[in-house]
Amino acid sequence: MISTLYIEKEVLEEKRVLDIRQRFDHLETIECEHYGEIFNRKAQNFRLQKQNPALILAKKHKGFVLPAPESYGIGGDKNYYFSHMMNCIYDCRYCFLQGMYRSANYVVFVNFQSFADEIRKISEQHVDESVYFFSGYDCDSLALEPVTKFIDFILPVFEKLPNAFLELRTKSTQIRGLLDRPALDNCIVAFSLSPDNIVKSLEAKTASLEKRIDALQKLQSKGWLIGLRFDPLIYFDNYKEEYTNLFEKVFAALDVDRIHSVSLGGFRMPEKFFKNMVKLYPEEKLFASTLEEDGGMISYEKNLEQAMLEYCENELLKHMPKEKYFPCF
């Protein structure tokens, strides 16, 4: 899975780095000055790199926690996001990361304490409000947990912050660490879900829909709050039937009372990222559909998008109360 290890000189001797290095002692290890020398350089091909990605261990110096985009929210007063990792081990064709980053290599920022300090500081600034922190924005929150152990580190931090909520966003079944510890009331484990044909066609290397539902069930049975993220909705000829089946299957397997939130969103992408993605995957069906640009964003043609969102919203609300529903459009 990981082909090479790059390590910034500054963190070479850090305990966390030494632990990760031990795990990958069979890999070629190369010292670098700054992760950007590898990650940000021009003339890289994301698609080719994705075949043999490297892991870069680095230190983040600023911007640990950032305000979340406007449409991001699942009921909190304030919304922030943070990324202890850049890039994802999965290969979802609709993912904006492949259009945003030049490199498909994974960067893990090993100074976890700096993230924790910033989260604590922001939570204390809004002590009378609920502050949500989203962790799965630039990576999958759980997929590389066996290597990074970030969740293991950050959950005790949230345990002591009553007004702070953590959303873990994932398509992974790496939930052992969560199942082995008491559930936190302020942590939501949110799974991205798509119909089976979309998982198979567009979400390469991810856990199957069945396995994700199984993971959700296990988490619920251990008391964890869960979230369901039907985002992005993908158009195809019989989407109505497939999304109806998906909602029925998911809600039949879960206790609605222990679902924290459900969200729905259409396929949308900044135009610049979309152009990069088309260059990388010119033959991709998803990008061959009828899409249009509006205000610098690419999405399905307006009437189609509206029809899809309305249909799926109506279907969803047959299974759950409206208070838990948070549209992302």
Partner 1 sequence: MLNIVCALHCEAKPIIDFYKLSALSDCVFPIYSNEQINLVVTGIGKVDTAAAMAYLFTKTLEQKNSAWLNYGIAGHKNAMLGDWFNVNKITESSTAINWYPSRFQNIDCLTASLKTVDNPVSLYEPEKLYDMEASSFMSTALKFSGIELIQLMKVVSDNEESHLVEINKKHVQKLLLKNLDPLISMIAVLQQHKKDFDEIYAVDDFYMNLLEKWHFTQYQKKEVERLIQRWKAICNKDDTDGLEKCQDAKQVIAWYKMQLNEAQVMF
Nearer to partner 1, 226 or 286 (CB): 286
274 binds partner 1 (CB under 8 A): no
Residues 180-219, one symbol each (x = binds partner 1 by CB under 8 A, - = not), give -----------------xx-xxx-----------------
Closest distance to partner 1 from the beta carbon of 188 (Å)? 29
Token pair recorded at residue 204: 């390469």
Helix axes 150-159, 112-125, angle to 10 degrees: 30
Which residue is it, tokens 């009372």? Answer: 257
Residue with tokens 């950007």: 36
> Does residue number 287 form part of the binding site for partner 1 (CB under 8 A)?
yes
State which of residues 7, 38, 155, 225 lies at the interface with partner 1 (CB under 8 A): 38
Instruction: Say how far apart CA 221 and CA 210 lie, in whole Å.
Output: 17
CA 327 to chain centre: 17
# chain residues binding partner 1, by CB under 8 A: 38
Residue 283 or residue 323: which is nearer to partner 1 going by CB?
283
Whichever of 88 and 234 has its CB closer to partner 1, that residue is 234
165 belongs to the binding site for partner 1 (CB under 8 A): no
HEC profile for 115-182?
Answer: HHHHHHHHHHHCCCCCEEEECCCCCCCCCCHHHHCHHHHHHHHHHCCCCEEEEEEECCCCCHHHHCCC
- Options 183, 278, 307, 317; binder of partner 1; rule CB under 8 A: 278
Considering only 13, 15, 22, 42, the residue that binds partner 1 (CB under 8 A) is: 42
Give how far the C-alpha of residue 16 lies from the chain's centroid of Cα atoms, to the nearest Å: 23
Alpha carbon of 172 to those of 65, 213, 302: distances in Å? 23, 11, 32
Residue 245 touches partner 1, criterion: CB under 8 A: no
Least spacing, CB of residue 289 vs partner 1, in Å: 5
Query: Is 26 one of the binding residues for partner 1 (CB under 8 A)?
Result: no
> Does 302 contact partner 1 by CB under 8 A?
no
Of 12, 23, 33, 223, the one binding partner 1 (CB under 8 A) is: 33
User: Nearest 10 degrees: CA dihedral of 230, 234, 237, 243?
Assistant: 0
- What is the widest separation between alpha-carbon atoms in the chain? 56
| Nearest Cα residue to 109 out of 89, 139, 84, 83 | 84
CB 151 within 8 A of CB 170: no
**According to CB under 8 A, which one of 44, 114, 217, 245 is a site residue for partner 1?**
44
Query: Is there binding between residue 236 and partner 1 (CB under 8 A)?
Result: yes
For partner 1, the binding residue among 18, 19, 40, 41 (CB under 8 A) is 41
Q: Using the rule CB under 8 A, which residue among 15, 43, 180, 323 binds partner 1?
A: 43
Q: Is the dihedral of CA 131, 190, 199, 87 positive or negative?
A: positive
Is there binding between residue 121 and partner 1 (CB under 8 A)?
A: no
Which of 1, 18, 19, 31 contacts partner 1 by CB under 8 A? 31
> Which of 20, 54, 119, 189 is the binder for partner 1 (CB under 8 A)?
54
Asked if 292 is part of the footprint of partner 1 (rule: CB under 8 A), the reply reads no
19 is an interface residue for partner 1 by CB under 8 A: no
Residue 66: count of CB within 10 angstroms of its CB: 13
If you count DSSP H runs as helices and E runs as strands, how many of each does the chain have, helices first?
14, 18
Residue ranges that bind partner 1, judged by CB under 8 A: 3-4, 6, 28, 30-33, 37-38, 41-45, 47-49, 52, 54, 197-198, 200-202, 234-237, 278, 282-285, 287-290
